[in-house]
Structure 1
Amino acid sequence: MDNCIFCKIIKKQIPCHCVYEDEHALAFLDINPISDGHVVVIPKHHAEFMHELPPASIQALILAVQKVAAACTTPYNILNNNGELAGQVVKHVHFHVIPKTDNSGLRGEWKVLQEKKDFKEVQAEIFQRLK
């Protein structure tokens, strides 16, 4: 994609502080980190959503995330947003590996739905979409 900032980083048109690279994935320091060592891991294959990536790209991407996470301070957050409503800003699949050194930033807390749909109904809907 011509206007994708991550594609430009992959093509070396925009510099980055690379920490890992292989045939399918690239990992670099986030330019707006929420902790020291905050890394963005991207596939070299452009796709906006995770489910659009070819299986080989997904496998390589997850392995790259695992390698970066193993090199980070523990504990850490691994974050992936798909779509604008989910908080995705750059429309290229990416994971954030965010080392945690204190209670600031992401805490993995969310508000539980007060009114939930029937679980069997939700389960049936998901099964139908997976067919």
Structure 2
Amino acid sequence: MPTVACPDCASTNRVPQERLGDNPRCGRCGSPLFQGKPVTLTAANFDRHLAAETPLLVDFWAAWCGPCKVMAPQFEAAAKALEPRMRLGKLDTEAGQQIAGRYGIRGIPTMILFRGGEEIARTSGAMSAAQIVEWARSRAG
């Protein structure tokens, strides 16, 4: 049974695979576990989302980055297509410098796909929603 971290309280929830599409709610706070938009990742919640069994696609970005601004609505659109089989999250590299450093982020936007806490794929540069979906699905297996 896959685990999913709540986008609001970061509690870990077990959800049967066949129930992922049934709009599951957090057992702790009652929030929907999938909201059709990327989760804002911070130093406080990053590791909880990373540890969940649901694949996690992270967009490493910064407010001053032009390509990041262009890609932001595309990443949001991709979340609607990829959830609930995958969690999408955004990490501001300025606010989360320690996490960005942990993964050697040198250029942004950079996306990293994680499964079971391990990096399984990485790409840099802005993409359209369709390209993000295609890239993520082809690497998630």
How high is the TM-score relative to the length of structure 2? 0.29
Point out the structure with max Rg over C-alpha.
Answer: 1
Looking at secondary structure, tell me which structure has more strand per residue.
Answer: 2
